[in-house]
């Protein structure tokens, strides 16, 4: 079955063709990096307007580069839950128009489920059950994946998501947006032991996360050294900050795996592209005899292939939406 995926929940206008929930035929992503750099982040209203300008071209490009025609599309899936309301509306409206005119099923997808399927697309042999760490600009969640489309939330962020912390720290230092890739790169030149930043909630029994205090302590360390006229290599701060985040993410994920006696974990979302995170996860999992999976780099950050794959799985469960499908900006992740 040929599914067209549409993703416009934040700043990426994306469309993709996926066959049978497994084979990515095309994966087109138009970023708004020019706007992000101009405004230092996403401005919801401006992002939504840019989606309306681009969505038609992006869908056409996905269909053409996938070597298919509109008439061959058998279902349309769009992100309808979690994201910026104006942005979500653009993708869902486009998906409805196609579903109506092509007379094919419409499926609304939760963005987090999309990220889970990015890993399933990248690693078709990844077994269930497993523990999935979804770590992005908007979410830091530990999810017990009992089966496809059957989830249990084990932990969540209490304040900033990990990617958000990367973005805010990069913004504070004026080194670019989004902050994750910049800090990832800068950290390769820094000493990760130069500063011992706090590992929030690491010692407690909860599987929840909190990164707001870590961000404050990085800013305080910087300010106090500047006040003392000390020169600070920003690379060392970046590497030490990244190490604190990585430490917390890996430790909590492995604790969840141990508590649930699961020997497979997956990491997904934009932050799963982080090189140090992948390295520490791989080493720690090898020591504990745990298998770890990451998405292909092209599927870590927001894309529509993951939405098409999740939509296909939902359709197989007998779920399809009507043309009254609405968007929900902050819907709980249903299990």
Binding partner at 273 among ligand KG4, Zn ion, none, C-beta below 5 to 8 Å by kind: ligand KG4
Positions that interact with ligand KG4 (CB under 6 A): 10, 136-138, 163-164, 166-167, 178-181, 184, 269-271, 273-274, 301-302
Binding partner at 66 among Zn ion, ligand KG4, none, C-beta below 5 to 8 Å by kind: none
134 contacts Zn ion (rule: CB under 5 A): no
How is residue 321 written in tokens?
A: 């939406």
How is residue 260 written in tokens?
A: 């649930």
Residue whose CB is less far from ligand KG4, 171 or 260: 171
Query: Judged by CB under 5 A, which stretch of 117-125, 133-141, 169-177, 315-323 contacts Zn ion?
Result: 133-141
Report the b/e string of 289-319 with b at 16+ CB within 10 A. Answer: ebebbbbbeebbbbbbbbbbbbbbbbbeeee
Binding partner at 167 among ligand KG4, Zn ion, none, C-beta below 5 to 8 Å by kind: ligand KG4
Phi, psi dihedral angles at 26 (to 5 degrees) = -155, 155
Instruction: Provide, rounded to whole angstroms, the least separation between the CB of residue 151 and ligand KG4.
Output: 17
Taking only Cα atoms into account, the Rg of the chain, rounded to an integer number of angstroms, comes to 20
Q: Is 232 left (phi over 0), alpha (psi -120 to 50) or beta?
A: beta
- What is the C-alpha to C-alpha distance for residues 222 and 197, in angstroms, rounded to an integer? 12
Binding partner at 184 among ligand KG4, Zn ion, none, C-beta below 5 to 8 Å by kind: ligand KG4
Residue whose CB is less far from ligand KG4, 66 or 180: 180
Residue whose CB is less far from ligand KG4, 105 or 269: 269
Measuring CA to CA, how many Å separate 306 from each of 3, 120, 265, 270, 312? Answer: 11, 9, 18, 13, 10
Report the b/e string of 209-241 with b at 16+ CB within 10 A. Answer: bbbeebbebbeebbeeeeeeeeeeeebbbbbbb
**Cβ-based neighbour number of residue 42 at 10 Å:** 18
Binding partner at 32 among Zn ion, ligand KG4, none, C-beta below 5 to 8 Å by kind: none
Instruction: Provide, rounded to whole angstroms, the least separation between the CB of residue 206 and ligand KG4.
Output: 22
Binding partner at 271 among Zn ion, ligand KG4, none, C-beta below 5 to 8 Å by kind: ligand KG4
- 114, burial (CB in 10 Å: exposed 0-12, middle 13-18, buried 19+): buried
Give the x-and-dash track for 285-324 against Zn ion (CB under 5 A).
-----------------x----------------------
Instruction: Provide, rounded to whole angstroms, the least separation between the CB of residue 110 and Zn ion.
Output: 11
Instruction: Provide, rounded to whole angstroms, the least separation between the CB of residue 273 and Zn ion.
Output: 12
Instruction: Provide, rounded to whole angstroms, the least separation between the CB of residue 318 and ligand KG4.
Output: 27
136 contacts Zn ion (rule: CB under 5 A): yes
Instruction: Provide, rounded to whole angstroms, the least separation between the CB of residue 245 and Zn ion.
Output: 17
Binding partner at 274 among Zn ion, ligand KG4, none, C-beta below 5 to 8 Å by kind: ligand KG4
Give bridge partners of residue 23 from the DSSP assignment.
19
**105 touches 75 (CB < 8 A):** yes
State the residues that interact with Zn ion by CB under 5 A: 136, 302
């Amino acid at each position: 079955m040929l599914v067209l995926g549409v993703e416009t929940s934040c700043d990426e206008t994306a469309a993709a063709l996926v066959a049978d929930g497994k084979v990515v035929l095309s994966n087109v992503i138009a970023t708004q990096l020019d706007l992000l750099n101009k405004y230092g982040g996403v401005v919801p209203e401006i992002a939504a307007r840019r989606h309306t300008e681009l969505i038609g071209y992006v869908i056409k490009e996905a269909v053409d580069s996938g070597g298919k025609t509109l008439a061959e599309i058998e279902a349309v899936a769009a992100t309808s839950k979690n994201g910026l309301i104006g942005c979500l509306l653009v993708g869902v409206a486009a998906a409805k128009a196609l579903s109506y005119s092509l007379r094919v099923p419409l499926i609304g997808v939760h963005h987090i489920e999309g990220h889970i399927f990015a890993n399933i697309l990248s690693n078709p042999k990844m077994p269930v059950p497993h523990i999935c760490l979804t770590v992005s600009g908007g979410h830091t969640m530990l999810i017990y994946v009992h089966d496809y489309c059957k989830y249990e939330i084990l932990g969540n962020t209490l304040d900033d998501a990990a990617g958000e912390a990367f973005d805010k720290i990069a913004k504070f230092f004026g080194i670019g947006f989004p902050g994750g890739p910049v800090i990832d790169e800068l950290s390769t030149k820094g000493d990760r032991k130069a500063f011992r930043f706090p590992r929030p909630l690491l010692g407690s029994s909860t599987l929840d996360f909190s990164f707001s205090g870590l961000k404050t302590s990085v800013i305080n360390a910087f300010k106090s050294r500047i006040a003392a006229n000390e020169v600070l290599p920003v690379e060392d701060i970046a590497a030490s900050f990244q190490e604190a985040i990585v430490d917390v993410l890996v430790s909590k994920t492995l604790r969840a795996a141990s508590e649930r006696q699961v020997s497979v974990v997956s990491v997904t979302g934009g932050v799963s592209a982080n090189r140090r995170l992948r390295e520490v996860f791989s080493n720690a999992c090898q020591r504990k005899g745990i298998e770890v999976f990451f998405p292909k780099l092209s599927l870590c950050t927001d894309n529509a292939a993951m939405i098409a794959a999740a939509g296909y799985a939902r359709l197989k469960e007998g779920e399809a939406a009507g043309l009254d499908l609405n968007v929900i900006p902050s819907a709980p992740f249903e299990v």
